[in-house]
């Protein structure tokens, strides 16, 4: 299933209503159309690239490779996975979000994924396959959303 950028933006803005930092928030959506993976498809991606995005990474816990780096790498590897393995015509609806979440004590970067059947999820790449959170676990103060 594919979805237009404006439809995805509407879903994200609706899910983030009242949570965006004002006036300094940024929502960026590069492409015009995106592929919505199933949750199973996204989990398969995680299993294939678990060495790259898992907590076993040797520089985990340093600013040399912290939350923002994990989220950028995850986003990048989703693109590589699409190009080299599954070959969908459009980028996957997997992005990066920077904000305040229920499972951490400070601002944090994670990924978000809009799935075909299960809606929006947050994905904490530092937790590997255990990193799925419901989107409502975003408490607010969101300053950056990229797709």
pLDDT reading at 56 higher than 70: no
Domains parsed from the chain with CATH numbers: 2-146 (3.30.460.70)
pLDDT reading at 65 higher than 70: yes
Per-residue confidence (pLDDT) for residue 143, from 0 to 100: 87
Q: Band the pLDDT of 79: cuts 50, 70, 90.
A: very high
Stated pTM of the model: 0.86
Element at 72 (helix H, strand E): helix 67-81
Per-residue confidence (pLDDT) for residue 58, from 0 to 100: 67
- Residues of the chain above pLDDT 90, percent: 54
Per-residue confidence (pLDDT) for residue 21, from 0 to 100: 79
Q: Over the stretch 2-41, which tens digit does the pLDDT of each residue have?
A: 888 889 989 998 998 888 877 667 888 889 999 999 999 9
Provide the token pair at 17: 């209503």
Element at 81 (helix H, strand E): helix 67-81
Q: Band the pLDDT of 128: cuts 50, 70, 90.
A: confident
Residues 78 and 68 sit within 8 Å (Cβ to Cβ) = no
Dist. CA 129–CA 13, nearest whole Å: 26
pLDDT reading at 115 higher than 80: yes
């Amino acid at each position: 299933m594919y979805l237009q950028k404006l439809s995805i933006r509407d879903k994200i803005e609706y899910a983030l209503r009242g949570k965006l930092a004002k006036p300094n928030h940024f929502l960026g959506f590069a492409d015009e159309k995106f592929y919505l993976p199933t949750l199973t498809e996204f989990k398969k991606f995680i299993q294939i690239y678990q060495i790259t995005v898992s907590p076993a990474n040797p520089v985990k816990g340093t600013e040399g490779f912290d939350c923002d780096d994990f989220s950028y790498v995850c986003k990048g590897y989703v693109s590589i996975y699409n190009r080299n393995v599954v070959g969908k015509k459009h980028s996957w609806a997997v992005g990066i979000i920077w904000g305040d979440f229920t499972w951490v004590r400070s601002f944090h970067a994670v990924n978000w994924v809009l799935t075909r059947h299960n809606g929006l999820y947050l994905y904490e790449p530092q937790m590997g396959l255990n990193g799925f959170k419901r989107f409502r676990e975003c408490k607010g103060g969101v300053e950056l959303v990229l797709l």
